[in-house]
Chains A and B, each alone.
Chain A
């Protein structure tokens, strides 16, 4: 696939995933990914094909290597919100992961509230 070597792909994917987690999929620019990964723009495109290709690689790595982590759940939430509605491959990937891990809608909703600092199990305030 013409993928350039000379960099650690796992490290690139970890840094890119952290960037997507911070700003979401659409909110992350290629400029930010270039800054976070240290790769040149052309090398990033050559290695992953597109921003979508990079995100899917991050998602695959997270669900296979850290299936139960909070970061994985957060990346799954980003994918569910932003890519899944228009991307069949991402929908399939997410469906497999959620089925395999037995993740329910309640689990996802709870994690979403926790991320938003609105977890009702932690705070019974009148929000």
Chain B
């Protein structure tokens, strides 16, 4: 598990754990729920193309942490192989197009985020 994800009031807060803060140069990502379009449990996303890394850590087949650019989109990844990866799609006004995160109990988190976004 590489990230703590919490829903507080009208915001979604992602906090990378331990040294992942350093590798990705991000202590925290905070997004208004109004900018969250939905979440999906997607473990196979770990193997998807990530694009150009800037900045971040790439250990293929092990872990990816940081900001990546692909097809004109800026995405944030903090995933490890075999982890429970969730994908959070954000509005164009958000700092990233989407977040790819390894988390604990991915399915439950996805349900909580989607319920908060719809509600």
Q: A87–B114 contact, CB under 8 A?
A: yes
The binding surface of chain A is classed by DSSP as helix
Question: Residue B87 contacts which of A2, A31, A45, A88 (CB distance < 8 angstroms)?
Answer: A45
Q: B44–A42 contact, CB under 8 A?
A: no
Question: Residue B40 contacts which of A2, A30, A86, A88 (CB distance < 8 angstroms)?
Answer: A30
The CA of A78 and the CA of B77, in the complex, are separated in Å by: 32
Task: Report, as a range, how many residues of chain A touch the other chain.
Answer: 20 to 34
* Stretch in contact with the other chain, from A15-23, A48-56, A67-75: A48-56
Q: Note all chain A residues with C-beta closer than 8 A to B37.
A: 1, 49-50, 53
Q: B39–A50 contact, CB under 8 A?
A: yes
Task: Report, as a range, how many residues of chain B touch the other chain.
Answer: 20 to 34
The binding surface of chain B is classed by DSSP as mixed
Q: Note all chain A residues with C-beta closer than 8 A to B115.
A: 86-88
Is the C-beta of A46 less than 8 angstroms from some C-beta in chain B? yes
The CA of A111 and the CA of B107, in the complex, are separated in Å by: 29
The CA of A87 and the CA of B113, in the complex, are separated in Å by: 11
**How far, in Å, is A36 (CB) from chain B's closest CB?**
14
- Chain B residue nearest in CB terms to A50: B38
Residues of A at under 8 Å CB distance from B? 1-2, 29-31, 40-42, 45-46, 48-53, 86-89
